[in-house]
């Protein structure tokens, strides 16, 4: 099975590092886990209000870093 690189590698890393379930983030965003997965894979875009919610989950990491497409 071929694994694609995460579209938002820094956000993926923060989720993993902090032990947060993606379902819980989806719940906070008011979307389904599938919709969150589509956003994480770059299939659909995050809305600005969703970016702000995610930023509140990881306040120590700038949004520009969380939503960057390059791993830093």
State pLDDT tens for residues 43-56. 999 999 999 999 99
Query: What is the distance between the alpha carbons of residues 6 and 49, in angstroms, rounded to a whole number?
Result: 22
Going along 1-72, which residue ranges are E strands?
Answer: none
Which H/E stretch holds residue 40? helix 33-40
Averaged pLDDT, 20-35 = 98
Instruction: Kindly report the pTM of this predicted structure.
Output: 0.87
What is residue 21's three-state secondary structure? coil
What is residue 22's three-state secondary structure? helix
């Amino acid at each position: 099975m071929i694994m694609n690189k995460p579209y938002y590698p820094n956000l993926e890393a923060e989720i993993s590092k902090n032990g947060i379930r993606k379902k819980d983030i989806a719940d906070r965003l008011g979307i389904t886990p599938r919709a969150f997965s589509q956003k994480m894979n770059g299939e659909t875009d995050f809305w600005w209000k969703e970016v702000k919610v995610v930023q509140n989950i990881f306040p120590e990491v700038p949004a520009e870093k969380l939503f960057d497409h390059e791993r830093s």
